[in-house]
């Protein structure tokens, strides 16, 4: 079993990563050719007009996932919230 760390990237992170890789390669056309990506899809992603296509993600060795975030409140925030709500009683009580 591989030790791997999951890192979640936002769209801005992907565009930044893509721009860095294109810059190192020399041009969008060259990067697209070397990575078997449609040049129009690459350009649309870099300019922010469209999200990255499957081919762009594959070339970056990324995959698309969906995530839900659970907010965890600090104890001090929870205590102050409980103090504010302590005087409330359910209706009919």
Where is 84: in which H helix or E strand? Answer: helix 75-85
Q: Domain for residue 90, yes or no?
A: no
Low-confidence ranges of the chain (pLDDT < 70): 1-2, 75-93
What per-residue confidence (pLDDT) applies to 1?
52
Distance of alpha carbon 62 from alpha carbon 47, whole angstroms: 19
What per-residue confidence (pLDDT) applies to 69?
79
Q: Domain for residue 1, yes or no?
A: no
Distance of alpha carbon 27 from alpha carbon 32, whole angstroms: 9
What per-residue confidence (pLDDT) applies to 93?
46
- 22: containing domain: 11-85
Buried b (16+ CB within 10 A) or exposed e, 49-75: eeebbeebbebbebeeeeeeeeeeeee
Q: Domain for residue 77, yes or no?
A: yes
What per-residue confidence (pLDDT) applies to 76?
60
Q: What is the pTM of this model?
A: 0.66
What per-residue confidence (pLDDT) applies to 13?
93
Q: Domain for residue 21, yes or no?
A: yes
Q: Domain for residue 2, yes or no?
A: no
Q: Domain for residue 6, yes or no?
A: no
Q: Domain for residue 24, yes or no?
A: yes
Q: Domain for residue 91, yes or no?
A: no
Distance of alpha carbon 27 from alpha carbon 14, whole angstroms: 17
Q: How many domains does the structure of the chain reveal?
A: 1
User: Which CATH number belongs to the domain containing residue 48 in this structure?
Assistant: 1.10.260
| Phi and psi angles of residue 32, each rounded to the nearest 5 degrees, phi first | -60, -45
What per-residue confidence (pLDDT) applies to 34?
97
């Amino acid at each position: 079993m591989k030790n791997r760390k999951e890192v979640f990237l936002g769209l801005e992170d992907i565009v930044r990563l893509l721009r860095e890789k294109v810059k190192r390669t020399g041009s969008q056309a060259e990067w697209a050719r070397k990575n078997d990506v449609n040049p129009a899809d690459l350009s649309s992603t870099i300019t922010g007009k469209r999200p990255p296509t499957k081919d762009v993600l594959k070339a970056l060795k990324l995959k698309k996932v969906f995530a839900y975030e659970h907010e965890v409140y600090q104890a001090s925030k929870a205590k102050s919230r409980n103090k504010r709500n302590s005087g409330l009683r359910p209706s009919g009580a």
